Amino acid sequence: MDGAFLIKPEIFPDARGEFLEVFSEPAFREAVGHPLRVAQVNCSRSRRGTIRGIHAFSLPPGQSRYITCPHGEILDIVVDIRVGSPTFGEWEAVRLGDGNRHGLYLAEGQAHAFAPLTEEATVVYLVSSTYAPHKEILVDPLDPELALPWPPESERLLSTKDRGAPSLREARERGVLPRYADCRARHEELCGEADALAGRHA
């Protein structure tokens, strides 16, 4: 899905345990086209039955996220909420956890939600802008039209704001979703800044 990248780092195990690069700036820049600006690092711990999301942030400036799960395992679902995108309303589900050590990068405008697949899971994510409540976009993670493949739990633990979030259709009708053209323009802007910086250092 345009604007989403699955990161599969090389893992080096030995008798002591294992080592890996959770994030590599050169590899990231080569794949995405610009560096990752980190304004804040978030950490959450969730127990089984929890669903966090669907969340995104409006542009400008939006918020990109680089997500890892260092303890436990989660199902992370990327949802394309960008109006005008060829994949609007589609989703992709990936497993992130301490078994595969995969990461997930989401560009500005992409939304996601996640749920633990283990009794507990810790999620760490690097974000490109600090939290701004007035910029946050919420979509109901239990939206029946999206029909996201959440694990079958006996209870659903959602925040009050997520329980009250609109469906994707309602959010689009309210005009709160990001436009695909704006997201692509932001990407080109970041790539242009990176090229200009590289030129000054050449």
Catalytic annotation, pick one of 55, 66, 112, 187:
55
Identify whether 55 is a catalytic site residue.
yes
Catalytic annotation, pick one of 66, 105, 125, 180:
125
Identify whether 125 is a catalytic site residue.
yes
Instruction: Give CB contacts under 8 A, 24+ apart, made by 35-40.
Output: 35/194, 36/64, 36/66, 36/105, 36/126, 36/128, 37/64, 37/128, 38/126, 38/127, 38/128, 39/127, 39/128, 39/129, 39/130, 40/126, 40/127, 40/129, 40/130, 40/131
Q: Which amino acid is at 34?
A: H
For 41-116, where are the alpha helices, taking DSSP H only? none
Active site residues: 55, 125
